[in-house]
Structure 1
């Protein structure tokens, strides 16, 4: 596990709502998760942005970033990401400039070009596909607003100017990879959404990377679905919550998390199962030994600089246990003993 011991570990949270639970429950669990990740030695926690999506409470991303940063001490906290079609760059720069001013050296700004919402919701956000230029121009605007105060600059983000909040490009294909490489920015790839494009995007990013004032070398983080438990059998059982959630996405239904089930067979058609398994092709599910092997394989075949995990569990205690297992596999000190499965 040499590679895992040297690799920063991070987590993505979409603040999922549980069947029978409320948005308040989901938000409280997100705060508790952040505190746990901080204690376990995770490097960063990112919050996603979604709007008008049943079962997901991560709509006010910047607010959540601030709350979790306030509740933690060392953890980097950021947006994974802010969907630029929904926002004016100046507002984004002001929000994250304020966060960086409050929590210096601990804030990340991940930027994505997907709206994370349907057309009606975008109109309710007072944005349209044609607002503010294309995604590359919007990224440049935010970099400029967060960069040094330049002579003659008429529009300034206050707070924001001069804070140098780290800007990341998010992507699930080669477009984001190419843009991040061109700008010399770190790149976060969404293998929890588009696993089949991982290797191509990584190649494009690394092979075309242009050093910049931000980074002299490419820095690639990959987000994977992860379900770790004390045994392979328990992990496979708990993973049925993730399967049901992905199935709801395939069907265009709400994403409220459902309890795990003993058998997924009655819950999906063969074509639906194929679609879900394809979507989750990068998922790592198992007990400690299986997870260790899976993570080492990902690291050895991709050479990524950092791993981020998207973990959906019906019970918060199971998500915490998953994080504890991965942290201890990496060598972090925990109060909870690690039980290796056979």
Structure 2
């Protein structure tokens, strides 16, 4: 295996990739908030790298957009310049994905060729690269859901796409942490289970948040702590759709209510875990995690009551990245053997 000190360039490279993935998530959030995600109606992994370079090319791209329901029902009459604005958000999002692929692949080949990577590390990184490519396909699967019968992407596909991005971000952080020797004492099994529980709830909350975003549910019930005048809305409203499971994905009230309740659960779990971990080697890390979850809850409330302004919405998404990023490192800390 390569010497520990020789892995420093690998750690720096992976941290850069993780940062780029975080930026990708935020750009994706801005693309959704500006309703730009359907402006490019084709998936061209190679030829789509360049934007239209002539007036004729722009007109042709605009003509394709005019054929989808979003233009016909929401943006009819949009000018070419207005189309260019939303086009560049989506194009920038896709371009950043391509850049991340190259930033990952080229150093991976170099480090593998120069012997920096151990037999156990190299396959993990190769799998991450494949998963990154799969994320691009998932992104197109999401976009395709809004090109025929809808004016926006399907919320559950948006949730899969966003949660997958957070998973990739966490996986890179985990690999980075695994390249450094574990320090401190082994923590009790109960603390390890608590850390895993907090992270499982956090990932579920990311998924649920994407459902809320996909339904624009944050625009419908904008008071806190009451929702439509009640802490718990009526069951008839929460289960208005048949079959009942559709309410989670298609009922704005239900999706926001479940997102709120899961936020409370996550906050309670994080605080209890911080108390549970006090006096152990993971105590300070657990306190930081509880603090980040608390801050994220505050950002969520502010985003809601201010009718989801883009800066606050993106800050809320950034807060989720901090929770998942630190939480992943925390889980590794309590799991690794010193």
TM-score, length basis structure 1: 0.26
Larger radius of gyration: 2
- Give the helix-richer structure, 1 or 2: 2
Richer in strand (by share) = 1
TM-score, normalised by the number of residues in structure 2: 0.26
